[in-house]
Amino acid sequence: MVKSSCSNRRKTISAQDNRILNEKIRSQEVMLIGDNGENFGIIPTKKALEIAKERDLDLVVVSPNQAPPVAKIMDYGKYKYETEKRAKEARKKQHTVDIKEVKMRYKIDTHDYMVRIKSATKFLTTGNKVKVVIMLRGREMQHNKLALDLATKFIEDLVASEIPMQVERKPLLEGRNVVAILAPSSK
């Protein structure tokens, strides 16, 4: 956590923030930019610190790789707060695609089958991928052809209901399960 009060010049900097502040600036001169955007030019670091203290703000190196480094006068605590707030807003607007799973057995009843179709439809319309899993237990492995046919029928029924989707992975037997992956289409 960074303390922003200028009376306490000892700054504790978090590991993720690598900005150089106030007295920790090691170069003799800096290219100074004021808090209102005015360009002071190249001035000694001590004078830049005095200007920052007069305005009750911090001196922050924004471009350390320049010769001399570019420093800006700003309220560092406020700056850090605003950047974290912008990053939080960006994460809020971002939609992550999840893989939702629809499980069934190859001997599924028609009503249960329709419930699975509705679930897959809802998942695809909200922008998530759907993993269709048809489980085979014990001697049911002999009927893996029926499970593959059910997975193909499931995909055909979703296509018939005119949901914008694409088959990312066709139905295949993986161990004791038949698995297919469907993704929402970008239409």
pLDDT of 41: 85
Task: State the 10-residue block means of pLDDT for the chain, 187 residues long.
Answer: 43 50 79 83 86 85 83 86 89 81 93 94 91 92 90 92 88 92 83
In the block, tokens 């800096």 appear at 30
The helix-helix angle for 110-125 and 144-160 (nearest 10°) equals 50
pLDDT of 101: 93
Q: Which of 155, 157, 186 is nearest to 169 (CA)?
A: 155
Cis before 171? omega within 30: no
Residue-range domains of the chain with CATH: 20-91 (3.10.20.80), 99-184 (3.30.110.10)
pLDDT of 96: 74
pLDDT of 1: 42
| Tens digit of each residue's pLDDT (9 = 90 or more) over 103-147 | 999 899 999 999 999 999 999 998 899 999 999 998 888 888 999
| Strand ordering across the sheet containing 58-63 | 20-21, 58-63, 70-74, 29-33, 39-44
Question: Against a cut of 0.75, is the pTM above it?
Answer: no
Pairing, β 29-33 against β 39-44: antiparallel
Rounded Cα distance between 107 and 135, Å, is: 10
